[in-house]
Amino acid sequence: MTTTPHQIDIHEILKLLPHRYPFLLVDRVVDMELGKRITAVKNVTINEPFFNGHFPHRPVMPGVLMLEAMAQVGALLSFKSGHVTPDDSSVYYFAAVDGARFKRPVEPGDQLIVEVEFERSKGGISKFRGKARVGDELACEAELMCAMRRVDR
């Protein structure tokens, strides 16, 4: 499948993010305006390992994983916009979350649409505003900060 400059498929996501199963929480970027905003998809399936314990009688995606998905999507926006460049000697850490609100449970079979807007970047720290939806319903929203740091190997 061919993607446009405003889309990112799983192959490019794997090149940009260090995360791997079971912690990669972005399946596809469906729209992006460099330096401004990005929209991505996370397909939520029953075979994800967190559903075994959260909760066995009523599987629900943990809210912290929705926030992590937003942070991963924000990192993709930063990388593609040129704010930071991923490499083997750096890590893009989740640095802060403010104003997190959870409005709707996310269950197996849902498609989580993650929308992130870039707010600002300074000194390797970027700030974003994120929302996650299922259809037209808001599931989660928060302000996020991520920081690029060098690591010794």
Q: Mind telling me the catalytic residues?
A: 54
Instruction: Give SS3 for 136.
Output: coil
Contact yes or no for 113/62 (Cβ under 8 A): no
Give me Rg for the CA atoms of the chain: 15
Q: Nearest to residue 91, comparing CAs of 147, 49, 32, 143?
A: 147
Torsion of CA 71, 74, 76, 82, to 10 degrees: -140
E strand segments, 72-136: 90-102, 111-122, 125-134
Q: Is 99 left (phi over 0), alpha (psi -120 to 50) or beta?
A: left
